[in-house]
Amino acid sequence: MPKDKILFERKQIIIKERSPQSQAQAAPLDEVTGTITIIENERGKFFRYVPLGLEDVMTDDWALINGVHSITSNKNDGDSTTQSSSPLLKFRFNFNLHDLRSVRRHHMLHGIAHMVFILKDGTTLPAFYFNLGGSKELLQKLAQCLRLEKSTQDARLYIVKDDLPKRNLSQSLSAFDQLNLFDSSNDVMRRLRGNDPHRTTVERFSKVTQFVKDTFLGQNEFITTNENSNGLLAPDVTALTNSINDEIRESNNDGFEVIYKVDFKKLPDVARGQPVTTKEWQTFFDKDGRAIDVDKLKERIYRGGLESNILRREVWKFLLNFYPWSSTRDERIEILKKRKSEYFDMKVQWKSMNEQQKQRNASFRDRESLIDKDVARTDRTHEFYQDDNSVHLQILRDVLMTYNMYNFDLGYVQGMNDLLSPILIVMEEEVDAFWCFVGLMSRMEKNFHLDQAHIKSQLSNLHTLLQFIDAELANYLTENNSSNMYFFFRWMLICFKREFSFDDVMYLWEVIWTDYLCQNFDLLVCLAILLSQKTVIMESKFGCNEILKFFNDLSCNLDLDTCLLSAEKLYIQLATHRDIPTSIAKLLGLPTGPNQQLISTGDNITYPRKIYTKQPHGTMNLDNSYFRQESEPSLLIDHDETTSAILDELLNMTPLMEL
């Protein structure tokens, strides 16, 4: 065992654990306290974080965690051993400093400093909070060991420059002086959620494996942080606001090359609102129970979401076309009776099939088997589904089986269970959940077609938007074999279901379902997130594999309101641009005529609708909002491992479809 020389040590470093799925009531957070050390031995220099209580547990140069079991691996001889179970093992981190790509240090005048480390393969470690100070000293030690360079785009980001000439100690200290660090102090920490780090980038992409195999392995077919006191990583304001002011080109349908010039340096001020309450909801109905001023109501839902699942139980039925907005209270009673009858008629059809009939229907038999497998693993960390004998799991299965009969041409495809799960949690009733699910699938059915044409088209549209907004980033992705935008595939397929907490997913869905701002608003959300990470991606020189892994590590580490604000700002800039390409205008549902106007409220809040004739004033200011950096490390991808090899491994695990 190589003898370790301690170069740096700091105790009382805290991370906080977030449960995989948020519950209806927020559960208490578990703090994990440990020690950070920088050690040196004959193998090199290593960063280590060891939780209290695991100091005597043996570890090798890299510890991987699978569930609560630690798997240590020796890169030199390939041996691996399994340690005893402990919930703290997943918070033990160990990596060679040469695997470090960047460091982000955030410090507030009266807050606890925290640091986030990103490795060369795209792995993002959770935020480490320095209760007793020491972040400045750690960064100084790293600057002595590595060639750190401060980002010109983000004052808190420090990039490891492998291509720079090696500096001596005095040069390192001189370079360190330019970092303009502050002393550490106190603040409230945010929770940290630990995902299973044994998953690689594409393993966390696993639910869409077969769905993307052919396209991902083939040739590209189409053109395809700031931080605040809450401990989240903000969208990179510079990357988002200083997008492009260069000429970019787009070919129109006639083959002529059109040149556009876009200035996204002045993004307007917009605001989110408070959730709609039950009392406010009731004010939007007349004495007969018919909705009045539906546009204003949708505007309110878009702006702030809904206050509770109890209210969602009623509102979602309108958003998902269970009830028409024009229906009266009495008409809805009759609609419900009819819906119940239709549902149970379909349910009886498959319930009454005997084994002989099933043996003669291979499609039905295979879909039933796939549903059984998926139901057993759907959101099992959520209290609604935790019990193995839960009646809710049975209802989930019954609804999926009945939808299989309702839309037999499409049938059941993996991922549908993810979409149904939150609906059932909200509705609780089987019939209500089914018809709301039908309404959702009417919006998203094309995502699950076997030819993948719609998903390809949406990813192509996303790249087209990026080319118009930020040609530099679009070109970088093209140069790194990522212009197909497949790192957003899962996001698009199941509408961000696994990218946010359960509560945030329900909030985001109801915002999207209003169709208030524009068509394809989900593309703008993706684009805002992508632009916010531009500096990290480009200055870290991430390739295709690293970009995949980096965006998968953002799962459940994003601040939703910030994403929505950024997406809306991008929309306003596009909608007010004089020379917006026709293809983008159609994509967002923007008219070509100059007859649309701004709609303002008594509170002087501007609500953008369609297209503007005047440019809103104001500048983007997201300095105090940010993304969470709370994911834990996954298995390091070998640098010589190709994308094809990664997906071949993934395809042997969990195929999307088994039909």
pLDDT, position 200: 40
Structural domain contains residue 523: yes
Task: Give the residue from 87, 186, 234 showing the smallest Cα distance to 632.
Answer: 87
Structural domain contains residue 102: yes
User: Is residue 508's pLDDT more than 80?
Assistant: yes
Structural domain contains residue 655: no
- Counts for the chain of helices (H) and strands (E), in that order: 23, 18
| CA gap 129, 115 in Å, rounded | 7
Q: Residues 255-302: pLDDT tens digits?
A: 323 334 444 456 677 889 999 999 999 999 999 999 999 999 999 999
User: Is residue 250's pLDDT more than 70?
Assistant: no
pLDDT, position 493: 93
264 and 335 both lie in a single domain: no
Structural domain contains residue 145: yes
DSSP track, 92-115: -EEEEGGGEEEEEEE--TTS--EE
Among 307-311, 406-410, 624-628, the range scoring the smallest mean pLDDT is 624-628
265 and 346 both lie in a single domain: no
Residue 535: φ, ψ to 5°: -60, -45
280 and 312 both lie in a single domain: no
Domain that holds residue 110: 1-19+28-54+90-163
User: Mean of the per-residue pLDDT values for the chain?
Assistant: 74
User: Is residue 85's pLDDT more than 80?
Assistant: no
pLDDT, position 124: 86
366 and 473 both lie in a single domain: no
432 and 514 both lie in a single domain: no
Residue 210 CB neighbour total at 10 angstroms? 17
Structural domain contains residue 531: yes
Q: Tally the domains of the chain.
A: 3
User: Is residue 187's pLDDT more than 50?
Assistant: no
427 and 563 both lie in a single domain: no
Structural domain contains residue 225: no
| More confident call, 36 vs 83 | 36
Structural domain contains residue 385: yes
List CB contacts of 476: < 8 A, sequence separation 6 or more.
537, 538
Among 46-55, 239-248, 378-387, 406-415, the range scoring the smallest mean pLDDT is 239-248
35 and 154 both lie in a single domain: yes
Domain boundary pick from 446, 464, 495: 446
271 and 332 both lie in a single domain: no
pLDDT, position 239: 41
140 and 1 both lie in a single domain: yes
502 and 578 both lie in a single domain: yes
| CA gap 535, 542 in Å, rounded | 11
Among 273-277, 339-343, 637-641, the range scoring the smallest mean pLDDT is 637-641
Among 134-138, 312-316, 320-324, 612-616, the range scoring the smallest mean pLDDT is 612-616
CATH number at residue 374: 1.10.8.270
Helix (H) or strand (E) holding 9: strand 5-17
* C-alpha distances out from residue 371 to 376, 386, 406, 422, Å: 9, 18, 15, 17
How does residue 110 score in pLDDT terms, banded at 50, 70 and 90? low
pLDDT, position 30: 65
572 and 556 both lie in a single domain: yes
344 and 415 both lie in a single domain: yes
| CA gap 656, 370 in Å, rounded | 10
What is the SS3 assignment for 159? strand
Q: Residues 166-180: pLDDT tens digits?
A: 334 343 333 333 333
Among 71-85, 313-327, 412-426, 546-560, the range scoring the smallest mean pLDDT is 71-85
Per cent of the chain over pLDDT 70 is: 66
Structural domain contains residue 635: no
CATH number at residue 543: 1.10.472.80
Domain boundary pick from 163, 191, 211: 163
CA angle 83, 87, 93 (to 5 degrees): 70
List CB contacts of 276: < 8 A, sequence separation 6 or more.
300, 301, 304, 305, 306, 307, 311, 315
CATH number at residue 47: 2.30.29.230
Domain boundary pick from 424, 446, 468: 446
Longest CA pairwise span in the chain (Å): 81
User: Is residue 529's pLDDT more than 70?
Assistant: yes
Exposure on the CB side of residue 458, measured as CA atoms within 13 A: 25
Its pTM surpasses 0.75: no
How does residue 624 score in pLDDT terms, banded at 50, 70 and 90? very low
